[in-house]
Structure 1
């Protein structure tokens, strides 16, 4: 008799365990269903505008451009920036209509660019066209006092035929010059600006930086071409950076607004989901 009671009791306990097990499984399945529905709900809740908003990406900011030190050149006189000057053939670089040398043969080659005082102003400030260091200041008959500047990027600038007296020159040997810094004042008829690259061929045996001044052999470069190309590049970079600044201000504002809208949308989704789950559980 006791054996039958024991068997019935075991069967009853087994049924309870099975019932509890199925309730647990059913509860898990319900929660899985809830989370699955919640995921579907989250993705299906937003209206068309909100869906479009979620798909929108923040705008990338534009990186600003820079001009390297070797690309920075400028005019030797302030008036060159504001006054349109028509330079005569004899003032320009390269082959001119003026004979520069007769021996050993005639040469019409001009190794630099001349800026006349009638065009840029008598006693006008002579400005550094490129950053560099003053290597030498000396006097040579026919050239008057000249200033020889060597730049870190290998360029050489010669400012000659512009200074009648040493006192007309404001800089000293060894002094580092910035672009546009005053070198002296124009007291002669014109400034002859010569530009070359450092090499064994641009210095005479006497140490003057104007060897081969009558030869068009690639030693000397066109100063005006270098200057105008640089000014064009600087203007291009300046214009681009101004547009980039304007764009970045708008993009930054847009990104902040977008982030705020997305944060608000997520908060609303969580709020609706909370109320939905809470109502379902009840």
Structure 2
């Protein structure tokens, strides 16, 4: 046999081996093409629109920082509309506060009378902080001096007839609404300032510049009412977020379940289709 004859014989054998491979590939290609067409016509394909939808992202709730957390010093202030007299309010009043070295009509805090908030009513912390000192001095009477970590200072004065009417101790941490004592004098004077070298006297009492409108003292009612408004807005927002998140979580759960079901059903039908096709 010549070399040419041997080569032709070898090529014929190679072609014989090649065609079965081509045929098998064509069979499987056709199989998957028909399977794909079958699946596309499968009834669960109606859920494709839902399955293709993305899960809903959950929203985060809002939180307030300490500087935004303020409240009234008496529970009745939340439920009773009180008309405070000029002399009770912060700022310029119609009552002379000091005559020396010159007359001053500036009121450095806010007065809450027992006839308005209730005699022996619980005195509540208006802002989170730590009790710095409990003391007594002329003009303030017995007082509770609280310093907050965000730089604010709160002085509760003139409202306690005796030391026993104060229930907190120096060094004690208080939260908004914690009881400090009970109102046994005619009124509680609430003063608020910021920590600085000018808010205390050289004797360590929290009342320097008490009759001077030099920016040392702040309006307690403005801080409280602005905070309550912000707290209410935050509460309402978080309620809406909670409602949205509950619905979104339910939607996401349904979506995940349908996706899993669709995947499972399609896998089963593909298996049976291929099995029947091969038979």
Give the alignment's TM-score, normalised by structure 1. 0.90
Task: Report if the CA contact (8 A) 2:130-2:148 is conserved.
Answer: yes
Q: Deviations over 1:106-125 (max 9, x none)?
A: 22211100000000011111
Task: Verify: 1:202 aligned to 2:199, yes or no.
Answer: yes
Task: Report if the CA contact (8 A) 2:130-2:174 is conserved.
Answer: yes
Per mean C-alpha deviation after superposition, the further-off stretch among 172-181 and 45-54 is 45-54
Q: Match for 1:217 among 210, 214, 227?
A: 214
Cα RMSD over matched residues? 2.3
Per mean C-alpha deviation after superposition, the further-off stretch among 69-78 and 239-248 is 239-248
Runs (4+) off by over 6 Å: 6-10
What SS does structure 2 have at the residue aligned with 1:214? coil
Q: Match for 1:228 among 221, 225, 229?
A: 225
Aligned to 1:143: 140
Gaps of 5+ in 2: none
Gaps of 5+ in 1: none
Q: Deviations over 1:208-262 (max 9, x none)?
A: 1111111111111110111111122222222222222222222212211111111
Per mean C-alpha deviation after superposition, the further-off stretch among 84-93 and 100-109 is 100-109
Q: Match for 1:101 among 98, 108, 114?
A: 98
Task: Verify: 1:163 aligned to 2:160, yes or no.
Answer: yes
C-alpha separation between the residues in 2 aligned to 1:276 and 1:16? 35
Q: Match for 2:116 among 116, 119, 141?
A: 119
- The within-5 A match list for 1:128-139 is 128-139=125-136
Task: Report if the CA contact (8 A) 2:44-2:262 is conserved.
Answer: no
1:38 deviates by: 4.2
C-alpha separation between the residues in 1 aligned to 2:58 and 2:129? 35
Give the alignment's TM-score, normalised by structure 2. 0.91
Task: Verify: 1:257 aligned to 2:257, yes or no.
Answer: no
Aligned to 1:77: 74
Aligned to 1:279: 276
What SS does structure 2 have at the residue aligned with 1:234? helix
Between Structure 1 and Structure 2, how many residues are aligned? 279
- The within-5 A match list for 1:49-64 is 49-64=46-61
Q: Deviations over 1:117-176 (max 9, x none)?
A: 000011111111111111112111232111111111111000011011111111111121
Aligned to 1:189: 186
C-alpha separation between the residues in 2 aligned to 1:225 and 1:42? 67
C-alpha change, 1:40 and 1:99, in structure 2 (3 Å) is farther
C-alpha separation between the residues in 2 aligned to 1:207 and 1:234? 34
Q: Match for 1:173 among 162, 170, 174?
A: 170
